[in-house]
Structure 1
């Protein structure tokens, strides 16, 4: 197949555009921000679970404290009623019964006071634990939010660059013969590189020095004849930098 040397040079431009596109696609799949988000996702789940667990334990303890305080209030009300009844009691039997009941209430109140104090300490400890877990969760969620924002901004920049690359590629392809583009695309599908420059005696497709026999054959080929890299089958474009 033949193609004007200038058209072959434009294939190198097309290959550069495709290389840019490949790098862009690789970057889109391996964005540092996205990789970091994946790395911290399990930690995020663990911290959210720890915060939720700490909150549940705190709420249970607060509920238990409220129950104790409600019981204590009812006992205090009962004691006040009995003390009022004792002041007006005239029967020895009634007085003895009220005094016995007040003694029982006093013991019950003492028990509730001890339980309330113990529960208050537990609530205080669980409040501190929950605050610590919550702060830990918020810390990593702040990091995640920052990563998400930077990832989305990077994605937008990538989309803008991808549009520019697509426009550049279309301009190049529209300016080349269809059969030459088809050949380029076929070679690119085979080895990932459609066209490469011969620099000195080295094919930039393989980064290998071409053997003398192949180099001699390439040197004899007319300038408008398409030649190929012996190692990769990419279109090999001869330029002023080629040692032939």
Structure 2
């Protein structure tokens, strides 16, 4: 294939824009905030589970405390009723003895329940403290995620704005090139990453490999409008005054 040397030189401008666009795509895909957000997502899930567990424990303890309080109230009510009957007098000896025994039993039961209630209330205080800590931790993680998302979105916007400026540049350069030369450039770029590369001091700027003596000789004898390609990376080699030929 032959192409005007000026058109071949424009391929370097096109490659420069494509390299910049590829770098922007890579930057967008590898933003530090993305990795941090992935890590924070795991931390957030753990924090949420910890918060749910703490909330569940507090709710269970509150339920147990209400049950014990109801049991204590029931025992107190029954004991008060028995005490009133005892104070009223007029009971047969056997019933009186049974009533006194029940009052003693109720007192023991009440004492046991109150001990249990005290222990549950202490556990409840600890559970409330743990819940507050879990909630603070979860809110802190969510705040960090929100900050990371803000930074990520700002970086995305900056990158996308730059891409929006580069793409018209690429279109203008590509439109001005001959169709067959542009097609070869796109084919080369798809195969090796570089569609075109400057030949600088006998070295391909695409793959950074120095050409062999036979390759240099072939290039020296090639017509100025001949389209030549690197034998290593298959990029179109653009010859300039810096080629060292």
TM-score (norm 2): 0.90
**Other-structure match for 1:28:** 28
How far apart, CA to CA, are the structure 1 residues paired with 2:183 and 2:207? 21
Equivalent residue runs for 1:68-83 within 5 Å: 68-83=68-83
**Other-structure match for 1:151:** 152
Residue 197 in structure 1 maps to residue 194 in structure 2: no
How far apart, CA to CA, are the structure 2 residues paired with 1:193 and 1:109? 86
**Other-structure match for 1:109:** 110
Q: Higher mean Cα deviation, 45-54 or 170-179?
A: 45-54
SS at match of 2:177: coil
Equivalent residue runs for 1:19-98 within 5 Å: 19-91=19-91, 93=93, 95-98=96-99
Equivalent residue runs for 1:126-145 within 5 Å: 126-145=127-146
1:181-228 CA distances to partner (integer Å, 9 max, x unpaired)? 111111112211100011122110120111222112212323222222
RMSD: 2.0
Q: CA deviation at 1:91?
A: 3.2
1:107-159 CA distances to partner (integer Å, 9 max, x unpaired)? 12111111111111111122222223333333322222222222222222222
How far apart, CA to CA, are the structure 1 residues paired with 2:172 and 2:81? 97
The size of the alignment, in residue pairs, is: 244
How far apart, CA to CA, are the structure 2 residues paired with 1:70 and 1:227? 94
Q: CA deviation at 1:13?
A: 0.8
**Other-structure match for 2:167:** 166
Q: CA deviation at 1:30?
A: 1.9
Instruction: Give the gaps of 5 or more residues in structure 1.
Output: none
1:7-54 CA distances to partner (integer Å, 9 max, x unpaired)? 112110100111112112222222211112223333332232222222
How far apart, CA to CA, are the structure 2 residues paired with 1:192 and 1:203? 13
Q: CA deviation at 1:96?
A: 4.2
SS at match of 2:241: strand
SS at match of 1:196: strand
SS at match of 1:241: coil
How far apart, CA to CA, are the structure 2 residues paired with 1:182 and 1:123? 74
How far apart, CA to CA, are the structure 1 residues paired with 2:57 and 2:91? 51
How far apart, CA to CA, are the structure 2 residues paired with 1:193 and 1:203? 11
Q: CA deviation at 1:95?
A: 4.8
SS at match of 1:11: helix
SS at match of 1:208: coil
Instruction: Give the gaps of 5 or more residues in structure 2.
Output: none
Q: CA deviation at 1:97?
A: 4.3
How far apart, CA to CA, are the structure 1 residues paired with 2:218 and 2:101? 120
